[in-house]
Each structure stands twice: as C-alpha cells, then as structure tokens.
Amino acid sequence: MLSLLLFAALALTAPLEKRQAPSGVPAFAVTYAPVAYLHSQEQYFPSDIGSQLAHTEPRVNYTLITNISDPLSLDNLDQLNQFGRGGQDVYLTSVDDIETNPVWLDGVKPDSNGLTDGAISSAVIVNDHKDGVVDVFYFYFYAYDFGGVYFNRNIGNHVGDWEYTMVRFRSGKPKAIWYSQHSNGQAFKYPVVEKYNGGSRPVVYVANGTHANYAVSGTHDHTIPNINLPNGAVQDYTDKGAFWDPIASAYWFSYDASNGVFTAYDGSTPTNWLKYLGRWGDKQYADSDPRQEDILDIPGLYKYTNGPTGPEDKQLNRTKVCPDNGNLCIVRFVLGP
C-alpha cells in the first residue's frame, strides 16, 4: 500500500499530460490514457475497488457462502471460483438494503486534480499481442449504477458497475479507441476523437447514472446496440461535469493471453481479484422481493438487475477493436453520436 501511496503522490505532482505509472508500463499507455467528464448531475461517482468487498457478502442463489477465508480481500477474492459453476453464479451482495441509500454507494467525487482521493477506482490492463499490436484497457469502477427512468419508470439499477475504454496501439501509436456502452459500445479512429486541451489524451463523456462511455457530449439513444442517435426512447445524457483522471488512482497490470496470467507492474498490487469470475453486485431481485418491479410485464425490464462481471470477462484478447458479440464492428472515421 505504501508503494501505491508514493505513486499517487508522484502522479499528482506531474502535469496532467505527464502523469506517471509504475516502471515497465509502456510510456504510450500513459501518454494516450483517456480522461473523463462525469455528468453534472451525477450522484454515483467512481468507487474504491477493494472497498466493495467491505460492504458485500458472497451469495449463490441468494444463499450466503460461509466456508471461505475471511475477510474477503483483493488478494483472495478468486477463492469464490470454487462455488457456483466456477464462480459464475457468485454475487457480491450488498449487506445493506440499497433502498436505504447507504453512503458507500455514492463513491468518491474527483477532486480538482481529477483524483478520487483515497479510492483506487481504476485498473489499467496491458495486453501485448506480440505482433506490434498492444491493447490497453482502462477499467472504471463504480459501487452503483442508476439505470435511468424510461416510460416514467426506474429501470435497470444494479450494485457494482464496471465500464471501460480500450485503446489499440500499433508500434506504439494509437490507432483506435473503444467506448463501452451497456451491452455493447462504439469504436472510433483515434485521430477523430476529442483530446483533452488539444493534447494527446482522449476525452470520455460518462453518462449520468449508467456510466456508459461516449466520445461526445449530449444526448445518446441506445435502443439499438452500437447505434447512438440523438433522440429516441432509451437515452443516456452526458456533459462536462466533474473532471476525472482515472490513471491518477489506478492499479496497473500486464496480461499474458497465452496463459491467462495477470501481473502487477509494481510487484505488490493484488492480482487475484482479477481471476474472480463472479458478479460484483447483487443477483437480480426475485419478483417476490418487495423492492423489485417488473416493468409493464416486458421480459428483461426490471427495476433491479444483476450486478456486472469484472474485467476478465471483457474479451481482453480480442482480435478486433470491438468485442466479438455478434454485432458488426464499425470503427468510425467521423466523430458523432
């Protein structure tokens, strides 16, 4: 932990365009690291990854797992993979009733330096494909996702929220960037996206409540995956609210796709949590749960849904800039919604 605090102190003394990273991290992963603007009305800010474990307990089918090492930590979280289909049915379930709005769901609003003070809220994972192509994933963690209000009803809330951007490099030069948005996202050629203060770092606009990532500010309809129109029935909203620099408070890892091994660049950062295959929030509440609402009897539309899987489940060794999810991979040459 001391090494992390020293790194954070060094990072904050450097100009924004020259934030630092542990030894061994490719320089381009820092030079071209995205920065973010949260929405001006955001209530659920980036959160400390490890603190999520202090406010949750592991459950399978709503039943507490008891025969594990206690307390759970980022060093031993992967022990949960021995339960529930190799961990896939394990849910880190809030020990508080989330309808009482426990304060830990709020996260940490970035300070004037873009730092989530006291909270390591990001993870950077570098995958070198060994052919001149390097993908750098910038993961962003939030304790809670407010799904939004659609058809005058609140839909899609869940405990825990992992979002990310990915920059693809060739020979150390940024070529394209992927923005995660709900179950899909959008890709753009690097030269066309907005850069912070006209420099080299791409700008990410984070949607209010849902934390989906967009390349432009404004209103985004996401009814159709990978197609974000300015108007529609299911909308996200972005603007230039609080400024956040995710790499100012982040864990840094390399990823070896040949054996699935994560290695911390500083040698002391916990890595076992990256192997955890379960969910980072509650299992979708049953229809019989008084907190749950089935919206208009439409399948899939619920007030509370499943918490998300973690970085390991985000296709870290993909072939294209986009994940392989059955949708066409469009790498846009023009900036727009």
Q: What is the per-residue pLDDT across 62-87, written as a single tens digit (0 to 9) for each?
A: 999 999 988 999 999 999 999 999 99
In a domain, 281, yes or no: yes
Could you tell me the residue range of the domain that residue 138 belongs to? Answer: 2-332
In a domain, 100, yes or no: yes
Which is more confident, 270 or 225?
A: 270
In a domain, 282, yes or no: yes
- Cα(110)–Cα(9) distance, rounded to whole angstroms? 15
- Cα(48)–Cα(183) distance, rounded to whole angstroms? 23
| Total domains, the chain | 1
User: What is the mean predicted confidence (pLDDT) over 51-71?
Assistant: 96
Residue 300 has pLDDT above 80, yes or no: no
User: What is the mean predicted confidence (pLDDT) over 11-22?
Assistant: 62
**Position 75: which residue type?**
D
Residue 315 has pLDDT above 80, yes or no: yes
Angle at CA 114, nearest 5°, toward 136 and 235?
75
In a domain, 337, yes or no: no
Whether 66 and 60 have beta carbons less than 8 Å apart is answered as no
pTM of the model: 0.93
In a domain, 25, yes or no: yes
Q: Which two tokens stand for residue 274?
A: 């990256």
Q: Which two tokens stand for residue 176?
A: 């394209």
Work out the pLDDT band at 16, boundaries 50, 70, 90: low
Work out the pLDDT band at 298, boundaries 50, 70, 90: confident
Please report, rounded to a whole number, the percentage of residues in the chain having pLDDT higher than 90: 80
In a domain, 106, yes or no: yes
Please list the residues that pair with 163 across neighbouring strands. Answer: 140
In a domain, 111, yes or no: yes
